[in-house]
Amino acid sequence: MRSRAVAAVKDSAAALERLRPLMPQPLRIHLHSARELGAKRTEETDDRPLATGLPLDRLLEGGLPRGRMVEVVGGRSSGRFAAALAVLAAVTGAGEAAALVDLGDGLDPESAAELGIDLARLLWVRPANLPQALASAEALVGGGFPAVVVDLGSPPVRGRNAEAPWLRLARAARAHGCALWIGSPYRISGTAAAAVLRMERTSPAWDQDGACRLLAGITSEVVLEKLRGQGVRRTETLQLRLEDPRVRLGIAPSERSNDEEEILRSATG
């Protein structure tokens, strides 16, 4: 009997060693026996913030916190939508499912794919008004999506707003460990958000390509206004570059005719 028990322990140790290369780094180092696997795995994976790779991570202490609502406020051309798509690219790139509740119906799938979003892992919901957007977000959070981005589009936000649904949504995110990103043109979620970021465009960059002027991107200032319910004020600079519009529109520069060159020259001065 004793020899069988010893053999079983040896087998499990051998199996653990075979699994070790597949484990995430912290688990690989700290796991001593198969028995610790369940508890350690939960410890190591469940609370890690979702890193976006943008300077926002420094403001949010590592990335988008799981189980918390983060509200990102930004006017037109502030880079708010690009930041939201960067979050989706990071989440889907890590192999997780993500959802975009797109009240403004502004997603261009081709641009999204170019930004690195794995479209197969992205669920795109196109509500018609704010109550639909809130109900959709609640269904997604309750449905186990690890990351949900709600983008409320450009002002005016369609539909009446009240604070109670936002509080309910924040509670649902906490209960399900969902990283919830709310992108809005103005502060909308009241006291529900655990962190509030404000994005303000400082200046657009225009490149000169010979006689042709091209929009190159923007520089945006990201201000952390609230973190874990406390008022704070920290700032980071976010630089967002744009792809060559000729490539974007499928017009390779080499394909331009002499007439087109002439038009461009005269148009852009």
Partner 1 sequence: MPRIACLAAHSFSLAARLRAEPELRGESLAILHRDGTMERVAAASRPARRAGVRPGLTLPQARALLPDLVVRHRDPICERAAQEALLEAAEGFSPRVEDAGEGVAYLDLEGLDRHFPGGSFELDLGRSLLAAAAAVGLPARAGIGGSKLAARVAADLPDSPVVVPAGGEAAFLAPLSLDRLTPPAELDATLRVWGVRVVGDFARLPEDDVADRLGRAGRELHAAARGIDPRPLIPREPPPTLQEGMELEWALTALEPFLFVGRGALERLCQRLESRGLACARLQLDLRLDPEGHLTRTLDLPAPLRDPKALLTLVRLDLEAHPPQAPAVGFTFTAHPGRLRETQLSLFGPAALSPDQLAATLGRLAAIVGPDRVGSPGLVDGFLPERFALDTYAPPAPPEAPCEPRGGSGRFTVRVVRPAVEVEVITGAGEIPIEVRSESSRGPRIQGRVRTASGPWELEEGWWGEGAAEREYWDVELSDQGIYRLFREPESGTWFADGIYD
Site string for partner 1, 62-91 (x = CB under 8 A): -x----------xxxxxxxxx--xx--xxx
Q: How far is CA 235 from CA 186, 225, 265, in A?
A: 18, 9, 39
Residue 189 binds partner 1 (CB under 8 A): no
Residue 269: both structure tokens together: 């001065």
Residue 50 binds partner 1 (CB under 8 A): yes
Q: Which is nearer to partner 1, 12 or 154 (CB)?
A: 154
| Shortest spacing between CB 146 and partner 1, in angstroms | 7
Q: Which is nearer to partner 1, 167 or 216 (CB)?
A: 216
| Shortest spacing between CB 189 and partner 1, in angstroms | 19
Residue 188 binds partner 1 (CB under 8 A): no
Among 15, 232, 251, 252, binds partner 1 (CB under 8 A): 251
Residue 249 binds partner 1 (CB under 8 A): yes
Question: Angle between the 130-142 and 163-176 helix axes, to the nearest 10 degrees?
Answer: 20
Across the chain, the runs of DSSP E, i.e. the strands, are: 69-74, 98-102, 122-125, 147-151, 179-184, 195-209, 212-227, 230-241
Q: How far is CA 56 from CA 80, 136, 160, 179, in A?
A: 11, 26, 30, 14
Residue 146 binds partner 1 (CB under 8 A): yes
Closest CA to 217 of 30, 82, 68: 82
Residue 127 binds partner 1 (CB under 8 A): yes
Q: Is there a contact between 44 and 26 (Cβ–Cβ < 8 Å)? A: yes
Q: Which is nearer to partner 1, 85 or 196 (CB)?
A: 85
| Shortest spacing between CB 53 and partner 1, in angstroms | 3
Residue 122 binds partner 1 (CB under 8 A): yes
Which residue type sits at 11? D
Q: Is there a contact between 233 and 215 (Cβ–Cβ < 8 Å)? A: no
d(Cα 87, Cα 104) in Å, to the nearest integer?
A: 18
Q: Which is nearer to partner 1, 7 or 35 (CB)?
A: 35
Q: Which is nearer to partner 1, 7 or 109 (CB)?
A: 109
